[in-house]
Amino acid sequence: MSTTILVLIILALGVVGWVLGNWRARTSVNGKTSALHSRPGYYGAYVLLWTTLPALLLLILWSAISPTVVSSMVSSRLPETVLAGPEQTRALTMSTIGMIEKGLSRLSSEELDKTADPATDVKALLLSKGVPLAVNPEPFAVDAARFQLAVKNSSQLLLTASALGLSLFCMAFGFFQVGPKLRSRNAVESVALAGLLGCSMVAILTTLGIVLSMLFESIHFFSMVPITDFLFGTVWDPRFSAAGATNEAGGQFGLLPLLWGTLYISLVALLVAVPVGLFSAVYMSEYASSKIRLTTKPLLEILAGIPTIVYGFFALITFGPLLRDAGALAGLSISATSVLTAGLIMGVMLIPFVSSLSDDIINAVPQSLREGSYGLGATQSETIKRVILPAALPGIVGAILLAASRAIGETMIVVLAAGIAPNLTLNPFEPVTTITVKIVSQLTGDLEFNSPQTLVAFALGLTLFVFTLALNIYALYIVRKYREQYE
C-alpha to C-alpha distance for 168 and 171, rounded to whole angstroms: 5
Min separation Cβ 281 and another protein, Å: 19
Kindly give the residue spans of alpha helices, DSSP state H, lying in 330-386.
339-364, 367-375, 380-383
- Residue number, 202 or 291, with CB nearest to another protein: 291
- Residue number, 39 or 293, with CB nearest to another protein: 293
Q: Is 419 exposed, middle or buried (0-12, 13-18, 19+ CB in 10 A)?
A: buried
Give kind and range of the element (H or E) at residue 429.
Answer: none
Residues 359/410/213/202 CA torsion (nearest 10 deg): 40
- Residue number, 228 or 290, with CB nearest to another protein: 290
Which of 132, 133, 125, 134 lies closest to 107, judged by CA? Answer: 125
Task: Reduce the DSSP state of residue 237 to 3 states and report it.
Answer: strand
Q: Which residues bind another protein (CB under 8 A)?
A: 289-290, 366, 368-379, 382, 386-387, 390-391, 485
C-alpha to C-alpha distance for 237 and 455, rounded to whole angstroms: 14
Q: How many CB atoms are located within 10 Å of the residue 156 CB? A: 16
* Strand-pair partners of 253: 236
- Residue number, 53 or 288, with CB nearest to another protein: 288
CB contact at 8 A, 281 and 362: yes
Min separation Cβ 454 and another protein, Å: 52
Min separation Cβ 184 and another protein, Å: 49
Task: Reduce the DSSP state of residue 37 to 3 states and report it.
Answer: coil
Min separation Cβ 277 and another protein, Å: 23
Min separation Cβ 362 and another protein, Å: 14
Give kind and range of the element (H or E) at residue 253.
Answer: strand 252-253
- Residue number, 239 or 386, with CB nearest to another protein: 386
Which of 12, 467, 35, 40 lies closest to 258, judged by CA? Answer: 467
For residue 377, what is the DSSP state?
T
Min separation Cβ 383 and another protein, Å: 9
- Residue number, 169 or 283, with CB nearest to another protein: 283
Min separation Cβ 386 and another protein, Å: 7
- Residue number, 289 or 444, with CB nearest to another protein: 289
Min separation Cβ 471 and another protein, Å: 25
Radius of gyration of the chain measured on its C-alpha atoms: 33
- Residue number, 88 or 367, with CB nearest to another protein: 367
- Residue number, 108 or 290, with CB nearest to another protein: 290
C-alpha to C-alpha distance for 60 and 221, rounded to whole angstroms: 36
- Residue number, 101 or 286, with CB nearest to another protein: 286
Distances (CA, A) of 126 to 72, 275, 463: 25, 69, 51
Min separation Cβ 263 and another protein, Å: 32
Min separation Cβ 361 and another protein, Å: 13
CB under 8 Å to 176, separation ≥6 — which residues?
A: none
Which of 353, 359, 347 lies closest to 281, judged by CA? Answer: 359
